[in-house]
Homo-oligomer: A and B are copies of this chain.
Amino acid sequence: PWGLVTLVGAGPGDAELLTLKAARVLGSAELVLYDHLVSDAVLAHIAPGAERIYVGKQSRNHTLPQEGIIELMVRLARQGRSLVRLKGGDPFVFGRGGEEAEGLAAAGIACETIPGISAAQGAAAATGIPLTHRETAGMLVYATGHLQGAQEDRTVQLDWEALARPWQTVVIYMGVGTLPVVCEQLVAHGLPETTPAALVERATLPEQRCIVGTVATLPSLGVRYGVKPPALIMIGEAVGRQVVPPGGAGMVSGPATA
């Protein structure tokens, strides 16, 4: 019989943010394919005897293209091997889990999914920035700042009108490189320059840093503090409702309301 593929969300970084189910599945796995953004502490939950295959990709340096990962999973599953596909965050939130499930289904391979805490949730909890708020943010929007298009013509394509609307919190994944464009476009599309905005680097990890400003000031703050990927951008009035938790949350520039 062919093997089963389990897509597993590794969460935002802190290994304690794995779900009990993900930890159980990793602990009994025989074969795990894992990505670049999965931390060593998460990998430590994999059963000691299990085979591990690194299929990580960084923005400009794909170890295996997406199609190659699906082909590899199909080949292994057809050999009768069940496997865990471990992905940063949640497989269905910018994790390409949907494409992998489709590719597997097209080859007749069954697939199930275990969700993970997404980076936005990890960053919110670890910094005390709420994602929704009765008085200021009734909607929550996730978008990705990932550059799209061919090498020589890469740009960020986002629905600026949608993202510039009031009464919502916007979280941009993989947004460090495009932070200046994002802030400029949002203001150009009507978002007030005074709107609170935060940059959260390495959310939930000990080296987490949180830089808070406004959509007008955040790009220069990002440069001043040398923020590097992985980092998230959080934008909206709810960012101004931050309550910094005990421990300080890696605050670099003080909360927006300070």
A residues at B contact (CB < 8 Å): 4, 9, 11, 14-21, 23-24, 90-99, 101-102, 104-105, 110-118, 121-122, 124-126, 128-134, 138-144, 157-159, 161-162, 165, 167-168, 238, 241, 243, 245-247
Contacts and interface: CB of A to CB of B under 8 A. Distances in A.
A167 B92 CA distance: 15
Given A140-B141, A162-B139, A92 B124 contact: yes
Contact of A162 (B99, B124, B134, B168): B168
B133 A99 contact: yes
A141 to B, nearest CB: 5
Contacts of A131: 90, 92-93, 98
Nearest to A96: B134
A86 to B, nearest CB: 14
Nearest to A18: B20
Interface of A is mostly: mixed
A97 B115 CA distance: 21
Given A17-B115, A115-B124, A97 B130 contact: yes
Contact of A115 (B23, B98, B101, B122): B122
A211 to B, nearest CB: 19
Nearest to A131: B92
Contact of A16 (B14, B20, B91): B20
B138 A144 contact: yes
Contacts of A246: 4, 110, 112
B94 A132 contact: yes
Contacts of A18: 19-20
